[in-house]
C-alpha cells in the first residue's frame, strides 16, 4: 500500500560498466542498496551486459529507456526488457493510448511498466513552449496522463513529487508512483526544475524514489545513501 514503505532506487548515471559495478559493490556491501536504475547513458555504453551483471548479483533493475514509438515497436521493446529480467521499465505517456495498451499487453506481473508523465527537468513554461499552448497546469497535465496510463492497463507512473499527492488522491492505488528528482534539503537542484526531499516524497504517498546525483556525485556515496535511508525511515515514522 502507498505510504507503508518507500523503496529507494539508485540511478547508475555513470559512464562505464566498470564504474557502475564499482558503485553498486560499494553501496550494496556498506549500505544494503539492492535496487538500481539503468538509464540511457549507461545502457548505450554497456548494453544488456549491465542488466545481466546486476541480475547476477540478485539486484532489482529499473531499466529506464522511456520507450516512445509505434505500438508494435514499443511492445517488442517491453517484451525484450521482460526477457532480461528487469523489475521495472518505462514508456512515455505521450505516446498515446494505443501505444500504452501495447506496452501493457507486453508486460508481465513480474515487470512493472511505468508511464513517464512530464520530465522533472521541465517547468510549466517549458511544457507550454513544447506543446504550443499559452498556459499549462502541470498538475492537470500529469493527472490527465496518469488517467490515460491507468485506463490503458499500466500499473505505474513516473511523476514529480509535486504532482504525486494529486495523483494519489485522484487515482488511489491504481498506479504505483515512482518519483525522481530527489534532493536533500541542503543541496542544489542541478538541472531539475521540480524536486522534492525524501521526507516530502514520503508525505506524498509514493512507492519508490529514484536518487541519482544526491548519492552518486557525493564525496561519500555510502554516507549519502545511509542519510537517504534515514530520512525515509524518519518520514515514515512520522506518518505512522
- Quick: pLDDT tens for 64-111: 999 999 999 999 999 999 999 999 999 999 999 999 999 999 999 999
**Number of structural domains found in the chain:** 1
* Mean pLDDT across the chain: 91
Q: Is residue 57 part of a domain?
A: yes
pLDDT at 189: 52
Q: Which of 14, 27, 62, 66 is catalytic?
A: 66
pTM above 0.85, yes or no: yes
Q: Is residue 189 part of a domain?
A: yes
Q: Is residue 1 part of a domain?
A: no
pLDDT at 226: 94
Q: Name the phi and psi angles at 91, rounded to 5.
A: -130, 155
Q: Is residue 2 part of a domain?
A: no
Beta bridge partners of 60: 35
Q: Is residue 219 part of a domain?
A: yes
Q: For residues 146 and 135, what is the distance between their CA atoms, to the nearest angstrom? A: 20
Q: Is residue 141 part of a domain?
A: yes
Q: For residues 198 and 162, what is the distance between their CA atoms, to the nearest angstrom? A: 12
What range defines the domain where residue 93 resides? 7-239
Q: Is residue 132 part of a domain?
A: yes
Q: Name the phi and psi angles at 62, rounded to 5.
A: -105, 105
pLDDT at 143: 95
For residue 198, the domain's CATH number is 3.20.20.70
- Does 66 qualify as catalytic in the annotation? yes
pLDDT at 137: 85
Q: For residues 107 and 149, what is the distance between their CA atoms, to the nearest angstrom? A: 14
Q: Is the pLDDT of residue 35 over 70?
A: yes
Query: Across residues 24-33, what is the average pLDDT?
Result: 93
pLDDT at 2: 43
CA distances from 58 to 28, 29, 117 (A): 11, 13, 29
Q: For residues 104 and 97, what is the distance between their CA atoms, to the nearest angstrom? A: 10
CA distances from 147 to 5, 70, 131, 142, 155 (A): 24, 20, 19, 9, 11
Amino acid at each position: 500500500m502507498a505510504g507503508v514503505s518507500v523503496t529507494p532506487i539508485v540511478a547508475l548515471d555513470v559512464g562505464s560498466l566498470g564504474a557502475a559495478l564499482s558503485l553498486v559493490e560499494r553501496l550494496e556491501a556498506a549500505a544494503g542498496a539492492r535496487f538500481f536504475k539503468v538509464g540511457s547513458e549507461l545502457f548505450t555504453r554497456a548494453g544488456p551486459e549491465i542488466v545481466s551483471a546486476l541480475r547476477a548479483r540478485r539486484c532489482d533493475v529499473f531499466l529506464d529507456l522511456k520507450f516512445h514509438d509505434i505500438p508494435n515497436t514499443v511492445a517488442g521493446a517491453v517484451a525484450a526488457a521482460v526477457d532480461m529480467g528487469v523489475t521495472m521499465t518505462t514508456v512515455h505517456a505521450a505516446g498515446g493510448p494505443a501505444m500504452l495498451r501495447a506496452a501493457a499487453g507486453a508486460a508481465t506481473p513480474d515487470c512493472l511498466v511505468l508511464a513517464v508523465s512530464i520530465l522533472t527537468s521541465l517547468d510549466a513554461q517549458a511544457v507550454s513552449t513544447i506543446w504550443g499552448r499559452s498556459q499549462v497546469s502541470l498538475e492537470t497535465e500529469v493527472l490527465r496522463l496518469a488517467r490515460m496510463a491507468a485506463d490503458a492497463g499500466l500499473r505505474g507512473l513516473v511523476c514529480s513529487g509535486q504532482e504525486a499527492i494529486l495523483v494519489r488522491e485522484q487515482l488511489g492505488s491504481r498506479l504505483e508512483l515512482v518519483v525522481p528528482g530527489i534532493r536533500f534539503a541542503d543541496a542544489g537542484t542541478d538541472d531539475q526544475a521540480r524536486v522534492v526531499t525524501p521526507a516530502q516524497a514520503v508525505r506524498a504517498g509514493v512507492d519508490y524514489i529514484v536518487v541519482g546525483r544526491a548519492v552518486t556525485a557525493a564525496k561519500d556515496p555510502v554516507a549519502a545513501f545511509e542519510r537517504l535511508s534515514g530520512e525515509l525511515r524518519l518520514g515514515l515514522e512520522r506518518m505512522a
